[in-house]
Structure 1
Amino acid sequence: METPQPRPDPFDELKDRHRRMWAMGDYKSVAGEVVPELGAVLAAEAGIRPGDYVLDVAAGTGNASIPAALAGASVVALDLTPELLAAGRGIAGDQGVEVDWVQGDAEDLPFPDGTFDAVISCVGVMFAPNHRVAAGELLRVCRPGGTIALLNWTPEGFVGELIAIMRDYQPPQTAVPGPPMWGREDYVAGLFEDGALEDWQSRKQMVTVDRFENPEHFRDFFKANFGPVVGVYRGIGEDLERSAALDRELSSLAERHARNTSGGIEMDWEYLLVRGTAAGQGHP
């Protein structure tokens, strides 16, 4: 009689898909050309200072890691996808800053408790499948009195709508809350244990995106460069009817949010900025 093999962990399977998905396209272009300012916004919100030891979780190509390093901090940039880390290493080198690039899982951070003065994530940790575990890891590796600061897309904003559209074109997935839930103040606050964070602050803001000439330009750019969108189209494969339907939905999404400018269109994409202090005594 054969020994029964353990069933694969659905979260592990999902993370493996995520790793492959984010390696598709060219996320470096998305972060650097579409929303380049977001990382600096988060670094400023976190109050990064010279000498701080900072962890950027789900760092991607370093959109927040590099501004934190430019502010004088010692920065560790962690991400699940090695291709993104390699791209970030090149960007940091071009800007003359040093960052420690580490491949790792946001839900199992390879650092001791209380290691960092600040733990940040810019539209990154929100894509980890097990939200509560990821939040617990952010808190665990932050020293008492240290800062946790996050920037997440909201469910009601442009990217929240984009993610909802893409889910409709994918096979049924493991029942996990969608990433934009991290963009709800009540939800993200509830991910942390009562009393774990002090001085909790949150506010919604907009980033104005003016990279595109028209809605179709947005659609084609994201089809070619944004891993989650690339992955959805690959999953559709040769189903030309569904592919054309998704084309229309993405163009319509951009059209609904667009304002005409002399150079093309601009859109406001909403995000939630949150910051708290890890409970306990720590050095100032």
Structure 2
Amino acid sequence: MTSTLALDGIKAKQQKTWASGDYGAVAALIHPMAELLVQSADLSYGARVLDVAAGTGNASLAAARCGCDVLATDYVPALLDRATDRAMAERLPLSIQEADAEALPFGDGEFDAVLSVVGVMFAPHQEVAAAELARVCRPGGTVALANWAPDGFIGGLFKTIGRHVPPPPGISPPPLWGSPDRLRELLGGSFELTITPRDFVFRFASAAGLADFFKEHYGPTLKAFEALGDNGKALYDDIVALADSSNVATDGTLKVPSRYVEVVGIRR
């Protein structure tokens, strides 16, 4: 059992991780996941929508395009600032508020829909985060999540990183949120769930190009390389090998499908 104090320390470290690099560059690649999720969620015009661990606002903007009243939350203010800039550029209404996914500062049943795209899955205390999603969603409302799966490329990337920089003890791996069995444990008591496996395809010129991109932009990878210092070459080579082994392109480029699950639930 990991203590509350230890979890708080992990969370503070996570905040620094997601504030590092340029998560916006990664979010720009995976934006189609949010658009697809929001369509699957079948949100109604004017619905009150909460985006949890919104990052730079992929799901928030997708919901705003549907005419929803959207509030984007995250515990990294710089990411929310980016979401605001994007909303202004697209002339979409969007509210933002700094908030922790494990302690949402909202009333019970306050929202018609609660969204998260590869966001809430990184909360260190999974049961608490899941309970918060359920608490703020009204009866009959919708939860809609997109979570990287353990057996996909990003799941493999985290396993690869963990072999070089072990995660804190007692913390469940984030990609468990992409396991149907684990999702039913976390959310099945509060929601009637529909879980759909999907693939997002990363496209780069080469496996080295993918490794370079994640090393520079993606906080967890960037911080792993920082921790390894001069010993980072082995991690780099393993990421290249993982990308090469996952490549389905036949034209000399790189196309890497990464399995994720799309989760849509109706609040009981």
Distance apart, 1:192 and its partner CA: 2.9
**Residue aligning to 1:264:** 253
| Structure with the larger helix share | 2
**Residue aligning to 2:82:** 87
**Residue aligning to 1:276:** 265
Encode CA deviations 1:119-170: one digit per residue, 9 max, x unaligned. 0110110000000100000000001110011110000000000011112222
Asked if residue 209 in structure 1 is aligned to residue 209 in structure 2, the reply is no
Cα root mean square deviation, aligned: 1.5
| Contact 1:46/1:120 (<8 A) preserved | no
**Residue aligning to 1:134:** 129
Structure 2 counterpart of 1:23, from 11, 19, 25? 19
Asked if residue 98 in structure 1 is aligned to residue 93 in structure 2, the reply is yes
Structure 2, unmatched stretches of 5+, are none
Paired letter, 2:165 = Q
Q: How many residues align?
A: 266
| Contact 1:60/1:79 (<8 A) preserved | yes
Distance apart, 1:260 and its partner CA: 2.9
Paired letter, 2:148 = W
TM-score between the two structures when normalised by the length of structure 1: 0.90
- The DSSP-based 3-state class of the residue aligned with 1:168 is helix
Identity %: 38
- The DSSP-based 3-state class of the residue aligned with 2:58 is coil
Distance apart, 1:174 and its partner CA: 3.4
Distance apart, 1:262 and its partner CA: 4.6
**Residue aligning to 1:282:** none
**Residue aligning to 1:120:** 115
Distance apart, 1:209 and its partner CA: 2.0
Structure 1, unmatched stretches of 5+, are 1-6, 280-284
Paired letter, 2:228 = I
Structure 2 counterpart of 1:250, from 230, 233, 239? 239
Distance apart, 1:259 and its partner CA: 2.6
Encode CA deviations 1:84-133: one digit per residue, 9 max, x unaligned. 11111111111111211111100000100000000011011000000010
- The DSSP-based 3-state class of the residue aligned with 2:248 is strand
TM-score between the two structures when normalised by the length of structure 2: 0.95
- The DSSP-based 3-state class of the residue aligned with 1:256 is helix
**Residue aligning to 2:191:** 197
Encode CA deviations 1:44-80: one digit per residue, 9 max, x unaligned. 1211221000001111001111010011001011111
**Residue aligning to 1:78:** 73
Whole-angstrom distance in 2 between the partners of 1:171 and 1:262: 36
| Residues 1:51 and 1:12: Cα distance change in structure 2 (over 3 Å) | same
Whole-angstrom distance in 2 between the partners of 1:172 and 1:232: 10
